[in-house]
Chain A
Amino acid sequence: MLKVLKERFKQGKCTIAYPAGDAPPLPNRFRGYPAIDRSKCPDNCRACIDACPVGAVSFVVSSALSCNDKTIQIDLGKCLFCTECTDACTGKAISFTKNHELSKHKRENLILKAGETMNVETGLDKKIKKLFGRSLKLRQVSAGGCNGCEADINVLSTIVYDLGRFGIQFVASPRHADGLLITGPVTENMKLALEKTYAAVPSPKLVIAAGACAISGGPYIGHCQANNGADSIVPVDLYIPGCPPHPLTTLHGLLMLKK
């Protein structure tokens, strides 16, 4: 017993101050919210578009410019936050910032156009927030998730993030849940199980799609064995991008349901 107490004293308090205080520093190589500087784009270059393994980077015809002048956009719902586009770009026009706050309520708001800053969202219905703002119980369904998302969601229940202090908890039955947190592209073999779990959650209910797979299919986009994400099966109220999302990204996203 004394040894346990001694160890407890040695290990100390590890819970982070975020969101009341600062978030713990992220490593320099962390890849968060991307930044596109169109002015640095070499002429007639499409290296980033060709390099992206999942088609997250694309040309878009900007309405303010003439039809010939194309600009680029990144779909954060598809983005694996890998380095293929930044490595391919000779002009260093794309970079990743250390900003971990990526989540959005609307799918279209995950698309970042060059020169634009992130879309500010008005958020969920006040009624929903009143219902779930103080206590939110979630059932997690892994539907083809690679255990990257799952592992870093589990981290939220450790003493570092201590999700319980916000009244958010993962529960063992859909009957006890206010919503689902889905990971994975929704494989064909998990589709029925996901539909049944969704039906088993009492209404009103929320659905959260965490990770590139659950938003768009991730690396498995277009596979006939999977469904290109959760919103092809059930309506989604919150998208948390990343491959996998950093625990801070997920925490920030979940707290958006409470503000």
Chain B
Amino acid sequence: MDNFPFLNIYNSVAVPFENIPLLDISRFRKEVIEYVEAGARIVSLFGFRRKDNSVLLIAVIAQDQTGVLSLAASECGNTYKSLTPDCPQAHWFEREIAEQFGIHPEGHPWLKPVRFHLPFGAEKNKQKQHQGEKEMLPGVTDFFEVEGEEVHEVAVGPVHAGIIEPGHFRFQCHGEKVLHLEISLGYQHRGIEQVIPGGPDKRTIHYMETLAGDTSVGHASAYCHAVEALAGCNISARAQTLRAVALELERLANHTGDLGALSGDIGYLPTASYCGRLRGDFLNMTALLCGSRFGRGFIRPGGTAFDTDEALVSELLKRLERATEETAGAVNLLWETATVVGRFEETGKLERETCEALGIVGVPARASGIVRDVRFDFPYGYFRFSQIPVSTWGSGDVFARAYVRWLEIQRSADFIRQELKTMPDEKVKTSIGKLSSDSLVVSLVEGWRGEICHVGITDENGRFSRYKIVDPSFHNWFGLAMAMRNEEISDFPLCNKSFNLSYCGHDL
């Protein structure tokens, strides 16, 4: 194993920071590219500014088959040879590093802002430093352009027609056919990664619950796993069960809502109406647990903030029974209606090879036949004891992304039903101590959209010196752009909904 200079660690296990091998940049580059060529993927690649002001690049590589995470770091200086030409998975990460730290990845084919903000540390001196310079505006950048007769460009956003978050989409079209779609984000940027260092403090958990507000449970869980690992704190099996139940309820609500929205987009109204309502029924189950439909205030370092009693469990089970039965009735109408299936099939196809090249995660990856699910590959928390089978479908189109959601709805419901009935009787919350100093932890959680990755690094006082968040949307937005190639522009709403990615989770 001497040939592998990376440090192998597991999900949510803290390690001393000094154990992470420091490679020179050319070796670092070569190793990351070789790992990815051998079938591993980049979970996170980020910059970390050290006290002496130099910036380290840190790569977290996932080996899905063995459940191992491999890490290495490298000093890169102000410029280094870009990984992207040899390893497309790195493209968005390198753009992010360039934007956050002003480090130039030489030879990056697509280097432009990801979120349109000033480099880390420069925001507060904005007025002073940038007087006289041209103001940076979101969405104002060089867009990829197609030229030629009958080629035209369609620009949409940032404000959209419905009640959704802002983002800017540029379509290069030939007639109705989309040759290329470029997605420009950053409108939701609230500066979350910039304020976490120095913490954890009383606001940190609230950032986690609102960094992608429809994934409050997912991100709060990832954060709590990280903090508990750094503090060396074990939480009770009962608390782990309740967290897993909340995570699956979040999946149920969102997947059901998505299936309703997909049928709404193609004008099939029965399922759209029923699922819109049923989504709320699942949210109300989460509210039964903790008072908030989005699970806010439930997941806390050390366990959960609320416990359940027998009456609450039986009420939950009763509601779950009814809601899953009605969801089955509503959703099965889709598969039995030829026009619906006809509209879903062969639309917005994302090939398996493209998914692998881009490191796509979550539902779109599984809908292209890839077995990739944190609950299965990197189990942590309650999923070490009770597994949910991975739901896949091979066709990679809108149909597959819809059908994978339906499979997951059934399996998550089964899981909740089973786990609620067999909860061990324990306290749900323990106090956590101080975080260990100079350590690093990688925490992965399978949120309803896909893999959530949090990396926490502590300083000599056990405070965060860097906290890196990767929402699944960060990997997947480019997948949507690829799925739109050679599709009709009128297919965009449907394709977009079949991915249903987060703007704020990406923008942070």
Residue of B nearest to A219 (CB): B206
The answer, among A142, A189, A190, for a CB contact under 8 Å with B164, is A142
**One of A66-74, A143-151, A231-239 at the interface:** A143-151
- Residue A27 lies at the interface, judged by CB distance under 8 Å to chain B: yes
Q: Which residues of A contact B214 (CB under 8 A)?
A: 146-148, 151
Q: How far is the CA of A8 from the CA of B306 in the complex (A)?
A: 37
- Residue B276 lies at the interface, judged by CB distance under 8 Å to chain A: yes
Q: How far is the CA of A154 from the CA of B151 in the complex (A)?
A: 36
Tell whether, in the assembled complex, residue B280 and residue A146 are in contact, meaning their CB atoms are under 8 Å apart: no
- Residue B391 lies at the interface, judged by CB distance under 8 Å to chain A: no
Tell whether, in the assembled complex, residue B202 and residue A51 are in contact, meaning their CB atoms are under 8 Å apart: yes
**Total A residues in contact with B, Cβ cutoff 8 Å:** 69
Tell whether, in the assembled complex, residue A185 and residue B190 are in contact, meaning their CB atoms are under 8 Å apart: yes
Q: Which residues of B contact A120 (CB under 8 A)?
A: none
Tell whether, in the assembled complex, residue A53 and residue B270 are in contact, meaning their CB atoms are under 8 Å apart: no
Tell whether, in the assembled complex, residue B270 and residue A4 are in contact, meaning their CB atoms are under 8 Å apart: yes
Q: Which residues of B contact A127 (CB under 8 A)?
A: none
Tell whether, in the assembled complex, residue A187 and residue B190 are in contact, meaning their CB atoms are under 8 Å apart: yes
**Smallest CB separation, A174 vs chain B (Å):** 8
Tell whether, in the assembled complex, residue A187 and residue B188 are in contact, meaning their CB atoms are under 8 Å apart: yes
**One of B326-334, B372-380, B435-443 at the interface:** B326-334
Interface residues of A in 176-209 (CB under 8 A from B): 184-185, 187-190, 192-193, 197
- Residue A258 lies at the interface, judged by CB distance under 8 Å to chain B: no
Tell whether, in the assembled complex, residue B297 and residue A170 are in contact, meaning their CB atoms are under 8 Å apart: no
Proximity string of chain A (1-19) to chain B, C-beta cutoff 8 Å, 1 when within and 0 when not: 0011001101100100000
The answer, among B162, B191, B211, B288, for a CB contact under 8 Å with A223, is B191
Tell whether, in the assembled complex, residue A224 and residue B124 are in contact, meaning their CB atoms are under 8 Å apart: yes
Q: How far is the CA of A247 from the CA of B336 in the complex (A)?
A: 33
Proximity string of chain B (166-209) to chain A, C-beta cutoff 8 Å, 1 when within and 0 when not: 10000000000000000000111111001100000011001100
Q: Which residues of A contact B166 (CB under 8 A)?
A: 141-143, 190, 193
Tell whether, in the assembled complex, residue A158 and residue B277 are in contact, meaning their CB atoms are under 8 Å apart: yes
Residue of B nearest to A200 (CB): B159
Tell whether, in the assembled complex, residue B329 and residue A219 are in contact, meaning their CB atoms are under 8 Å apart: no
Tell whether, in the assembled complex, residue B191 and residue A172 are in contact, meaning their CB atoms are under 8 Å apart: no
Residue of B nearest to A218 (CB): B210
- Residue A155 lies at the interface, judged by CB distance under 8 Å to chain B: yes
**Smallest CB separation, B323 vs chain A (Å):** 11
Q: How far is the CA of A155 from the CA of B478 in the complex (A)?
A: 29
Tell whether, in the assembled complex, residue B290 and residue A29 are in contact, meaning their CB atoms are under 8 Å apart: yes
Tell whether, in the assembled complex, residue B188 and residue A31 are in contact, meaning their CB atoms are under 8 Å apart: no
Q: How far is the CA of A162 from the CA of B81 in the complex (A)?
A: 56
The answer, among A54, A170, A189, A213, for a CB contact under 8 Å with B187, is A189
- Residue A80 lies at the interface, judged by CB distance under 8 Å to chain B: yes
The answer, among A193, A243, A247, for a CB contact under 8 Å with B158, is A193
Tell whether, in the assembled complex, residue B189 and residue A244 are in contact, meaning their CB atoms are under 8 Å apart: no
- Residue B234 lies at the interface, judged by CB distance under 8 Å to chain A: no
Q: Which residues of B contact A27 (CB under 8 A)?
A: 284, 287-288, 291
Q: Which residues of B contact A185 (CB under 8 A)?
A: 190
With A53-B202, A53-B203, A225-B123 in contact, is A159–B163 under 8 Å at CB? no
Q: Which residues of B contact A140 (CB under 8 A)?
A: 162-163
**Smallest CB separation, B191 vs chain A (Å):** 4
Q: How far is the CA of A54 from the CA of B202 in the complex (A)?
A: 9
Q: How far is the CA of A145 from the CA of B188 in the complex (A)?
A: 7
Tell whether, in the assembled complex, residue A189 and residue B195 are in contact, meaning their CB atoms are under 8 Å apart: no
Q: How far is the CA of A208 from the CA of B292 in the complex (A)?
A: 22
**Smallest CB separation, B112 vs chain A (Å):** 15
Q: How far is the CA of A159 from the CA of B330 in the complex (A)?
A: 14
Tell whether, in the assembled complex, residue B504 and residue A144 are in contact, meaning their CB atoms are under 8 Å apart: yes
Jot down 8 A-B pairs with beta carbons below 8 A, ordered by A.
Answer: A27-B291, A142-B165, A144-B188, A153-B163, A154-B163, A160-B280, A189-B186, A244-B213
7 new A-B contacts, CB < 8 A, other than A3-B333, A148-B216, A197-B159, are A10-B326, A31-B291, A53-B202, A141-B159, A154-B163, A219-B210, A224-B191
Q: Which residues from chain B sit less than 8 Å from chain A, CB to CB?
A: 115-117, 123-124, 126, 137-138, 158-159, 161-166, 186-191, 194-195, 202-203, 206-207, 210-214, 216, 257, 270, 273-274, 276-277, 279-280, 284, 287-294, 296-297, 305-306, 326, 329-330, 333, 336, 502-504
Report the 5 A-B pairs with minimum CB-CB distance, sorted nearest first. Answer: A146-B213, A148-B213, A29-B291, A172-B161, A225-B191
Q: Which residues from chain A sit less than 8 Å from chain B, CB to CB?
A: 3-4, 7-8, 10-11, 14, 26-31, 51-54, 80-84, 87, 96, 139-155, 157-160, 170, 172-173, 184-185, 187-190, 192-193, 197, 213, 218-220, 223-226, 243-244, 246-247
